[in-house]
Amino acid sequence: MVYTEAFISAVKAIWAHKMRSFLTMLGIIIGIFSVTALISVAQGTTASVTSSIESMGSNLLTINIMDRRTSLDAKDIEAISELEGVGMVSPYVQSTYTLRSSISTMEDISTYGVNADYTKIVEYTLATGRELTDEDSDKRMRVAVLGSEVATELYNTADAAIGQEISIGGTRFTVVGVLESEGTSSSGNEDEMILIPFSTAQRMMKNTDISSIYASATSSDTVELAQENIEDYLYQVSGSEDNYMVFNQSEVLESLEGVTGTLTMMLGGIAAISLLVGGIGIMNIMLVSVTERTREIGIQKAIGATRKDILTQFLIEAILVSGLGGLLGLGLAYVSTGPLGSVLDMTVEIESWVVIVSIGFSLAVGIVFGIYPAIRASKLNPIDALRYE
Amino acid sequence: MKKEEAKVIIDIRNMYKIYEMGSEEVHALDGVNLQIREHEFVAIIGPSGSGKSTLMNMIGCLDTPTSGEYILDGISIENYTENELAHIRNVKIGFIFQQFNLFRRLTALENVEMPAKYNRVPVEERRARAVEALKMVGLGERIYHRPTELSGGQQQRVAIARSLVNKPPILLADEPTGNLDSKSGEEIMKMMHQLHSEGNTIILITHDNDIAEEADRVVRIFDGRIHEDKQKGAK
Ligand SMILES: Nc1ncnc2c1ncn2[C@@H]1O[C@H](COP(=O)(O)OP(=O)(O)O)[C@@H](O)[C@H]1O
Ligand SMILES: [Mg+2]
């Protein structure tokens, strides 16, 4: 009951100085807004990258050969695919080319040379036509499977692309298939790329070394077994642990989460500084307010207010200003998630823990920066306060 | 009722209040001894700067002396904590100031309610008591007015109502008519007499002889010392 009344009189006191209260609040509004918005953007980034990595299949293993002298060939690929725990294996080479159809041109499009299993390993689905086959690779066929955006850009629709000619860096290929849209991932826009047979690509790119391989484990339980076996095999082939790297998706995710976690902390930390500035603003105004009301405090004490009464009154006022500022900042962040999301091209959502932390923070700022002025007010000597003009 | 038999409620013994002003010492109170019994009506009179307000602030537990003792209702003030002193100011003493000291932002009713609020009186009862007190001072029709909408005399009556709301036995009035025209002043004095007749102990501070003469006992203070302490009719 006592607190309800203190609350009501705090509302009145804040209302009596509307403009000043609002300006004081502004620091907290901006602080909470930036904390919430930045953390949510960081979270959104993490979520979209994570989901695209997860969409590539949790059984995926990525193999990179770092040593130029270690040269793998088709037999090694065959051998790796025979290892226990390993399912499918596809080497890949990548380069960028200008693509041309009778209708349109696209520049700098990632072109992957892969074998038949690649689309299954990374879990792409075919929209129309057929996938690349072992025969395509064996015979160095000039056939291509297009990402969905490439198909629509060069042939208007996916279906229209099938059977059409495509010039890849000046070499003529035939379109045999088009993929479903996959969206954007850490490896770029997966709809704006094309796949061609590995052997064909090797020749085009004048690159006979196999330095990058995608493999899948037979199931999610055998990922580690497959990884160990591949590592053992590569050790035998290359002679040193430093010559190759084998990642599984959970490792990639972990290191990525480490990075985005740091990012979130950094952005949140920077925003927290603005909150600190807001808090100092509150302290400043509360000190002014205590001085202004010195005489009032004297009268209150003369008619029986205890230190605690005065302390509660000023503290509630400070908490109310910062709490209200926090709510407004949060509201502003909510309103801005839509526009922010569309500008950044991702889903920006304010998670409930961010809401709780924001409100907690703004209340804490009120307490931390309100307590000193409140204590000062409560400790005023009644007679000095009464004499104050 | 013989006044001499009433219990001593205020007992000030050899009290000094010394302010250091640079190298100089100001003896606002310079060895004051004063006993006031329950139900007395005492006027403390003296010229400006003689220490009247300082004395009243001591009696009202708003200030602490440099030395000396103050025994209120049988207990030395030194033994009280800050919280207990606040409680004494709240329920044992009603203050009436020369400058009224009302809260400008609050209505008459809210002003009068304040001491009851600090005494944790439930809202309903507090409101009823405040309305009653305002009626008693003749402001039953103006409970929702703010101080700025009231005359000086009316404001002082709100202040009196406020001093009464917790029904304290002692009323301390520091030049209550000092800022008022003579007619309003008379009304306030009439109210003081009425409150005295209802059993309150009244201590009135003034520099006006005519007003002092209305009290049953006149204490003259000069340069922080009591020069004369006279019961009416004793002569
Ligand atoms: N806070 C203070 N600091 C210094 N001197 C003070 C203070 N308060 C009162 N005095 C001095 O003490 C003396 C008595 O003051 P006061 O009790 O207010 O007198 P009165 O009320 O009789 O006019 C005066 O000389 C005054 O200047
Ligand atoms: Mg005075």
Position of tokens 């061609």? A196
Residue type, position B6, single letter: A
Two tokens at B85? Answer: 């002193």
- Under a CB-based contact definition with an 8 Å cutoff, are residues B86 and A307 in contact? yes
Q: Which of A172, A204, A239 is the last residue of a domain?
A: A239
Please check the confidence at residue A70 and state whether its pLDDT lies above 80.
no
* Burial class, B67, CB count within 10 angstroms (exposed 0-12 / middle 13-18 / buried 19+): exposed
Alpha-carbon distances, residue A256 vs A50, A249, B39, B146 (angstroms): 8, 10, 83, 65
Same domain, A357 and A224: no
Amino acid at A146: L
A356 and A226 share one domain: no
Quote the CA–CA distance of A271 and A34 in Å, as a whole number.
Answer: 5
Q: Are residues A27 and A75 in the same domain?
A: no
pLDDT on residue A183: 66
Pairwise CB contact (< 8 Å): B90 & A299:
no
Residues A198 and A264 in one domain: no
Residue A250 lies in a domain: no
Domain end call among A183, A208, A239: A239
> Which range of residues forms the domain containing residue A164?
68-239
Length of chain B equals: 235
Element holding A150 (H helix, E strand): helix A148-155
Judge whether A297 lies within some domain.
yes
Partners of residue A302 in chain B, C-beta under 8 Å: 60, 62, 89, 95, 101
Residues A219 and A72 in one domain: yes
Radius of gyration (C-alpha) of chain A in whole angstroms: 32
- Residue with CA closest to ligand 1 atom 26: B49
- Give the tens place of pLDDT for each residue, A314-348: 999 999 999 999 999 999 999 988 888 888 777 78
Contact between A294 and A385 (Cβ < 8 Å)? yes
- Is A146 part of any domain? yes
- Neighbouring residues of A159: CB distance < 8 A, sequence distance ≥ 6: A128, A178
Residue A173 lies in a domain: yes
Query: CA-to-CA distance for A191 and B123, rounded, in angstroms?
Result: 70
Same domain? A94 vs A227: yes
Where does the pLDDT of residue A49 fall: very low under 50, low under 70, confident under 90, or very high at 90 and above? Answer: confident
Provide the chain B residues 122-141 that lie in CB contact (below 8 A) with chain A: 122-123
* Residue A99 three-state SS: strand
> Is residue A334 in some structural domain?
yes
User: What does the alpha-carbon distance between residue A67 and residue A239 come to, in Å, rounded to a whole number?
Assistant: 10
Pairing of strands A165-168, A171-179: antiparallel
Q: Which of B50, B63, B221 to mutate to test the pocket of ligand 1 (most atoms within 8 A of CB)?
A: B50
Domain membership of residue A58 (yes or no) is no
Indicate the residue among A213, A239, A265 that finishes a domain. A239
Q: What is the pLDDT confidence band of residue A185, given thresholds at 50, 70 and 90?
A: low
Instruction: Please indicate whether, in this complex, the C-beta atoms of B90 and A2 are within 8 angstroms of each other.
Output: no
The pLDDT score that the predictor gives to residue A1 is 52
Q: What is the pLDDT of residue A69?
A: 74
Residue identifier of the C-alpha nearest atom 8 of ligand 1: B54
pTM of the shown model? 0.73
pLDDT band at A386 (very low <50, low <70, confident <90, very high): confident
- Grouped pLDDT means (10 residues each) for chain B, 235 residues: 73 96 92 95 95 94 94 92 94 94 94 95 95 94 95 95 96 93 92 94 94 94 94 69
Q: Which pair of tokens denotes residue A295?
A: 């005489």
* ipTM score of complex: 0.93
Q: Is the Cβ pair A303, B118 closer than 8 Å?
A: yes
Residues A284, A279: Cα–Cα separation, whole Å: 9
Chain B interface disruption, residue of A4, A303, A384, most B CBs within 10 A: A303
Quick one: A132 and A21 in the same domain? no
Q: Is residue A249 part of a domain?
A: no
Residue A349 phi, psi (nearest 5) = -125, 140
Which of A321, A330, A311, A327 has the alpha carbon at shortest distance from A281?
A321
B83 touches A at CB < 8 Å: yes
Indicate whether A200 and A270 sit together in one domain.
no
List Cβ neighbours of A43 (8 Å cut-off, separation of 6 or more). Answer: A264, A348, A349, A351, A354
The residue-averaged pLDDT of A15-28 equals: 91
The answer to whether the CB of A169 falls within 8 A of the CB of A97 is yes
Q: How far apart are CA A112 and CA A121, in angstroms?
A: 14
Cα A334 to Cα A52: distance, rounded to the nearest angstrom:
25
Same domain? For A106 and A31 the reply is no
Q: What percent of chain A stands above pLDDT 70?
A: 96
Instruction: Name the residue among A248, A251, A247, A227 with its Cα closest to residue A86.
Output: A227
Split into its structural domains, chain A has a count of: 2
Asked if residue A276 and residue A146 are part of one domain, the reply reads no
Q: What is the pLDDT of residues A119-144, one digit of tens each?
A: 888 888 899 999 999 899 889 999 99
Is there a single domain that holds both residue A93 and residue A158? yes
From CA A123, how far away is CA B36, in angstroms rounded? 98
In this structure, the answer to whether residues A43 and A98 fall within a common structural domain is: no
